[in-house]
C-alpha cells in the first residue's frame, strides 16, 4: 500500500516525507518530483485530487475522448 501513500492498514496516510513521488511527466519531459496524494498514484497537480466527471455531458465527453484515443 506504500505505493498509494497509505500505511499497511489501508487507512492511515503516510507522513508527507514517506510518500512516493508522483512520476508523471512534465511539459519539459522530466519526471514530476511532487509527493502523491494519499490513496492515489499522482500528485495534486497531475490528477491526484480529481474526482472525475460528474455530469452526464462530462461523462459523455470523456467516453468519446477515450474511444477516439483507442482507435
- 44-62 residue pLDDT tens: 888 888 788 899 999 999 8
Torsion of CA 55, 58, 63, 67, to 10 degrees: 170
Under-70 pLDDT residues of the chain: 1
- Asked whether the beta carbons of 22 and 32 are under 8 A apart, the reply is yes
pTM of the model: 0.62
pLDDT of residue 7: 83
- Asked whether the beta carbons of 22 and 33 are under 8 A apart, the reply is yes
Beta bridge partner(s), residue 13: 6
pLDDT of residue 28: 92
Amino acid at each position: 500500500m506504500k505505493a498509494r501513500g497509505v500505511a499497511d492498514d489501508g487507512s492511515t496516510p503516510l507522513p508527507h516525507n514517506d510518500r512516493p513521488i508522483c512520476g508523471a511527466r512534465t511539459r519539459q519531459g522530466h519526471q514530476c518530483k511532487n509527493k502523491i496524494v494519499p490513496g492515489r498514484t499522482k500528485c495534486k497537480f497531475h490528477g491526484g485530487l480529481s474526482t472525475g466527471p460528474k455530469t452526464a455531458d462530462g461523462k459523455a465527453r470523456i467516453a468519446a475522448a477515450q474511444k477516439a484515443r483507442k482507435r
